[in-house]
Copies of this chain bind each other. A is one copy, B any other.
Amino acid sequence: MKSYRKELWFHTSTRRAFVNITGEVEEALHESGITEGFCLVNAMHITASVFINDEESGLHQDYEHWLEQLAPHEPLNHYAHNRTGEDNGDAHLKRQIMGRSVVAAVTGARLDFGPWEQIFYGEFDGRRDKRVLVKIIGE
């Protein structure tokens, strides 16, 4: 069994953002030399997500609007977590909706995806350095 590990770094200029990282994950897969196996991609921070959906700007607006409805950033004192001095209580909730990680199949040295599947980094508490882990196992 072979394994490969790589970190991707992000620093978004806004508090919340969606970044298409499919190309970076494909690059890691190419570097790994693995042709059959599983590829795990996960946020290493607990106020961010990795998920698979569509590269379509209207949809990303819909996610932004919907997540703000389900877990609004303000008022800050709505969240017990913010009593610690943080202002990211909402981000910990949003991340649960969108998920921590993706496991993708690797077949024939490629991500085994349907026609519209793209991998996104979902940032809910940005404006600082944060990491995503890519770990691939197989042969």
Please list the residues of chain A having a beta carbon within 8 angstroms of any beta carbon in chain B.
Answer: 1, 3, 5, 36-38, 40, 42-46, 51-54, 56-59, 61-63, 65-66, 70-71, 79-84, 89, 92-93, 95-105, 107, 112-117, 131, 133, 135, 137-139
Taking the closest CB of chain B, its distance from the CB of A5, in whole angstroms, is 6
Interface residue from B62, B92, B100 paired with A62 (Cβ < 8 Å): B92
Q: Please state the number of chain copies in the assembly.
A: 3
A23 CA / B131 CA spacing, docked (Å)? 23
Contacts A38-B40, A117-B46, A138-B1 given; does A81 touch B98 at CB 8 Å: no
Q: State the majority secondary structure of interface residues on A.
A: mixed
Contacts A5-B105, A112-B135, A137-B37 given; does A96 touch B96 at CB 8 Å: no
